[in-house]
Amino acid sequence: MKTSTATVSIAGDLGEKLAAIAKAGFDGIEIFEQDFISFDLSPADVRKMVADQGLEITLFQPFRDFEGLPEGPLRQRAFSRARHKFDLMCELGTDLMLICSSVHPAGLGGIDRCADDFQELGEIAKSYGVRVGYEALAWGRFINDHRDAWEVVRRADHENVGLILDSFHTLGRKLDPDSIRTIPGDRIFFVQLADAPAIDMDLLYWSRHFRNMPGEGDLDLPAFMDALYATGYDGPLSLEIFNDEFRRGDAEMVARDGHRSLINLMDDLRRRSDRPAPSLPVLPERVDVAGVQYVELACKPDDISEIESLLTKVGMVKTGTHKSKQVARFQNGNVNILVNSDPAGRSFDLASEHGAVVSEIAFTTPDAAAAHKRALALGAEPVALPHQAGEQNIPTVRGVAESLIRFLDPTMDIWASDFEKPDGSGPAGTNGVHSIDHIAQTMGYDEMLSWTQFYTSIFSTAKSPMVDVIDPEGIIRSQAVTGQDGGLRLTLNGSEARRTSAHRFVADGAGATVQHLAFAVNEAVEMAEHLHQNGFSILPQTENYYADLAARFDLPEAFIAKLKALHILYDEDESGGFLHFYGTVFGNGLFFEFVERRDGYDGFGAPNAPFRLAAQRRMAANAPAG
Ligand code: MG
Ligand code: MG
């Protein structure tokens, strides 16, 4: 199936939209009439511009209030408007027009009256060599259900008249998508797709402001696609997304997200299909992440001693140095932190500009080449890094902001091929931190949907509902993305408020990147005691927090006293408890978290996030200037 998008889905003027749409890899566009009218080029020039971008115009839209009008001037006017648009379509080089169901106050409705109008229009369309497709708007005055629109098309019985389906109008009205299965695929001329979050509001307002990309909302797009596929429909799948964020967002990002959502939707459809699906793209499996093999911190030579001292206090041991780069490996249990201070690399530029930042995250996957291939098919940007003979050539894509995501698999033993043991290095520690529990990435709110989609389409993951975290100066939104078996846990945090800590981190730092690394420990209490003895500074919490803890949970007094003495935060879900605490901020706003999950606790301690943020703010306010 061809991929297409309505120009209305993307920000910018028509030229900017086309460039972004072409770059994202779409086959075609729906020209939204307003975008054309407000653009200062002739139809012939627009036609050439579209062709020059390697695109085709799949649809011209919308044509409103056509059918069911009373005999007389109103009806005649509707037909003459249509002739004007057919002329324009011929100049633009497109053969299909969308007619959405009428909301005209003078409309009379009536299936046969409407069918007669379409029959007559079909004859006119035929003389122009064009076709018309009829779409039931969810708020159409008489026709607001695709089953009724199909009945009009069926009775019009004209080869130039077909049906247009729009997932929003069907699913938004909670119509059963299986009712599509009785429509012949060749009578469906075009399909528009949009998702939307589950919000109970006026249909028109919901549709015009809150639509989003397939997979980003709560509508049952897979059921819609299954039903559509059963009809044999093989035409374009086109995004028609009215969304305030997208319209003021980055055109290239929104176009790339849109294309990714369609490829992902088709990939899922092919996997569910019980018969060969030659028109659907073939992608490698979703990537199962077994764990984080390493996280690389980029730092300037001046900062090495501070970072190394922090890692040593955490119990990590330097067990390797890179053979060809100034990179040290710090290890404990399954945790590997690379400290990169190589003056020749990109990491150095990052650190010079921003201070110590996370520059790379390497995931352990079953097949690194396949993972890379899937990521590229879903719009990830490939990055080629130099490597010496004998070292691994690690498949890499650009991740959040300027960080990189690297794919490793069991055939790639980087520790043997790329690293050597420094003189006098001891064995890796086994106490304390044993793995990376989760990675928290911070970004602008406008990028959250994009990165959520990136992770959920490329990797085998699920997202949990978004939560709002109260920062002393605004709201931070947090979206958790988790894989199976805890191999991949990410929290994506975004903020629009100008002064929240998430926003400051983004504005002051490397665009958007990792804000904290959470280490899994067996015994949080033991770890906190150990860190305290080693002079590692733990983020202090308030007396009031522990008084409240006693009220919130039924916990022994002595236990709460212990938590309080060590500044450990506590949470519970239906399965178990969660003990966690934080180190103080270093580098470019980075900090470590230490977490103990008990009995399958599945969350991230979100109820405690406001107290962490407030504590960090108190620390920053009390820090000496300079
Ligand atoms: Mg539509
Ligand atoms: Mg956390």
User: Using one digit for the tens of pLDDT, what is the confidence trace for 603-618?
Assistant: 999 999 989 988 988 8
- Model pLDDT, residue 25: 96
For residue 281, the CA-to-ligand 1 centroid distance in Å is 24
Q: Which residues contact 7 (CB under 8 A, 6 or more apart)?
A: 14, 17, 18, 21, 29, 30, 31, 32, 35
Asked if pLDDT for residue 20 goes beyond 60, the answer is yes
For residue 67, the CA-to-ligand 1 centroid distance in Å is 17
Q: Are 61 and 97 in contact (CB under 8 A)?
A: yes
Asked if pLDDT for residue 497 goes beyond 70, the answer is no
3-state secondary structure 238-275: EECCCEHHHHCCCHHHHHHHHHHHHHHHHHHHHHHCCC
For residue 621, the CA-to-ligand 2 centroid distance in Å is 22
Residue 507 confidence class, pLDDT cut points 50, 70, 90: low
Q: Which residues contact 484 (CB under 8 A, 6 or more apart)?
A: 288, 460
Q: Which CATH superfamily is domain 433-622 in?
A: 2,3-Dihydroxybiphenyl 1,2-Dioxygenase, domain 1 (3.10.180.10)
- DSSP secondary structure string for all residues of 280-291: S---PPPBPP-E
Which ligand is in closest contact with the Cα of 61?
A: 1
Cα 410–412–417 angle (5° rounding)? 140
Protein fold of 291-420: 2,3-Dihydroxybiphenyl 1,2-Dioxygenase; domain 1 (3.10.180)
| Residue 513 Cα to chain centre, angstroms | 15
Asked if pLDDT for residue 624 goes beyond 80, the answer is no
- DSSP lists the bridge partners of residue 339 as 297, 328
Query: Cα separations (Å) of 479 from 127, 200, 274, 447, 451?
Result: 53, 21, 34, 12, 10
For residue 541, the CA-to-ligand 2 centroid distance in Å is 16
Asked if pLDDT for residue 422 goes beyond 80, the answer is no
For residue 314, the CA-to-ligand 2 centroid distance in Å is 17
Residue 626 confidence class, pLDDT cut points 50, 70, 90: very low
Residue 511 confidence class, pLDDT cut points 50, 70, 90: very low
For residue 238, the CA-to-ligand 1 centroid distance in Å is 9
For residue 193, the CA-to-ligand 1 centroid distance in Å is 8
C-alpha atoms less than 13 angstroms from C-alpha of 398 in its C-beta half-sphere: 9
Rounded CA-CA distance 341/349 in Å is 10
Asked if pLDDT for residue 375 goes beyond 60, the answer is yes
Q: What are phi and psi of 228, to 5 degrees?
A: -60, -45
Highest mean pLDDT among 154-168, 428-442, 474-488: 154-168
For residue 49, the CA-to-ligand 1 centroid distance in Å is 24
For residue 496, the CA-to-ligand 1 centroid distance in Å is 30
Asked if pLDDT for residue 89 goes beyond 60, the answer is yes
- Model pLDDT, residue 475: 78
Asked if pLDDT for residue 349 goes beyond 90, the answer is no
Cα 37–41–44 angle (5° rounding)? 100
For residue 523, the CA-to-ligand 2 centroid distance in Å is 17
For residue 146, the CA-to-ligand 2 centroid distance in Å is 46
Q: Which residues contact 574 (CB under 8 A, 6 or more apart)?
A: none
Compute the mean pLDDT over every residue in the chain, rounded to the nearest whole number: 92
Can you read off the two tokens belonging to residue 583?
A: 């180190």
For residue 516, the CA-to-ligand 2 centroid distance in Å is 7
Asked if pLDDT for residue 557 goes beyond 50, the answer is yes
* CATH class for the region spanning 60-249: alpha beta
Mean pLDDT of 442-458: 90
Lowest mean pLDDT among 43-57, 148-162, 468-482: 468-482
Q: List CB-based neighbours of ion ligand 1 within 5 Å.
A: 166, 192, 240
Q: Are 190 and 96 in contact (CB under 8 A)?
A: yes
Q: List CB-based neighbours of ion ligand 2 within 5 Å.
A: 518, 593, 604
For residue 167, the CA-to-ligand 1 centroid distance in Å is 8
- Model pLDDT, residue 571: 97
Q: Are 130 and 159 in contact (CB under 8 A)?
A: no
- Model pLDDT, residue 376: 97
Q: What is the pLDDT of residues 224-273, one digit of tens each?
A: 999 999 999 999 999 999 998 888 889 999 999 999 999 999 999 999 98
Which ligand is in closest contact with the Cα of 139?
A: 1
Domain boundaries, the chain: 60-249, 291-420, 433-622
For residue 135, the CA-to-ligand 1 centroid distance in Å is 7
Query: Cα separations (Å) of 223 from 26, 180, 269?
Result: 24, 10, 10
Rounded CA-CA distance 491/507 in Å is 19
For residue 35, the CA-to-ligand 2 centroid distance in Å is 44
- Model pLDDT, residue 513: 58
For residue 440, the CA-to-ligand 2 centroid distance in Å is 6
Lowest mean pLDDT among 79-93, 100-114, 178-192, 289-303: 289-303
For residue 604, the CA-to-ligand 2 centroid distance in Å is 6
Lowest mean pLDDT among 3-12, 93-102, 296-305, 544-553: 296-305
Rounded CA-CA distance 232/127 in Å is 28
- Model pLDDT, residue 14: 92
For residue 155, the CA-to-ligand 2 centroid distance in Å is 59
- Model pLDDT, residue 297: 92
- Decide if 60-249 and 291-420 have a common fold: no
- Model pLDDT, residue 510: 44
Asked if pLDDT for residue 219 goes beyond 90, the answer is yes
